[in-house]
Amino acid sequence: MSSEEVEGYYEKVRSESSETIASVLPKIILDVSAAILIWLFGKLVFVPIAEGIYFLGYPLPQLLNFILIVALAVIVFRMIFDVRRLIEGLAGFAACEIGAPYDVSPEEVEHYRTALRGIFDIIVVSLIYMLFVDFLSRIHVALSGVALLAIVVWAIYKIWRVVQAVSEEIRRYTTAWAKKALSKP
């Protein structure tokens, strides 16, 4: 890429990233607030009130837990798309801030995206699990255990991908540094 193309790419990535962050962050905050309120009311109000009550022969707390899981799942799935867009914006912004100014390549941006996606995915999935674990356990204890096992295996894979992406950038920076250091008389 010529220096003009690199500078244009840098400015494009930086402006698109800033716009994405500004447009998506308020939506995420509202969705998180709604999920927290549903969780709080469900766990602290509705489920305790329903203890000992049966609806058509089924324990009402288990039915309410299922309804709350569905409501939270709808909000969480909607939020996941916005979180993904936020991560894309943060990765582009990080590449521009951490990388040398006007020397950001598409490959570097992709490495930052992979690393940030992996880290944020693990954090988000862990938080989602913590949101659902009580409701899953009240339906059946094994549900929360199976979900946790799947999350741990998936998280290990994601961590491996993050390390690979970061190591590529470290390798690139150390190679450039070594060339500079060794070329000096």
Query: Comparing C-alpha atoms, which of 117, 111, 114, 106 is closest to residue 12?
Result: 106
The answer, yes or no, to whether residue 99 has pLDDT greater than 80, is no
Instruction: Say which residue, 100 or 122, is predicted with more confidence.
Output: 122
Among 72-76, 119-123, 176-180, the range scoring the smallest mean pLDDT is 176-180
Q: Please report how the helices 106-139 and 60-98 are oriented relative to each other, as an axis angle in degrees rounded to 10.
A: 170
Average pLDDT, the chain: 85
CB 21 within 8 Å of CB 62: no
Residue 6 pLDDT exceeds 70: no
Say if CB 91 and CB 117 are below 8 A apart: yes
pLDDT of the residue at 170: 81
Q: Find the range with the poorest average confidence among 47-61, 120-134, 164-178.
A: 164-178
At 156, the pLDDT band (50, 70, 90 cuts) reads: very high
**Tell me, what's the pLDDT at 2?**
63
Distances (CA, A) of 183 to 100, 163, 177, 179: 20, 30, 10, 6
d(CA 20, CA 140): 40
Q: What is the pLDDT of residue 150?
A: 95
CA distance 118 to 165: 10
Condensed to tens digits (0 to 9), the pLDDT of residues 22-81 reads 999 999 999 999 999 998 999 899 989 988 888 888 888 888 988 998 999 999 888 888
What average pLDDT does range 129-143 have in this prediction?
85
Q: How far apart are CA 170 and CA 108, in angstroms?
A: 11
What's residue 92's pLDDT? 79
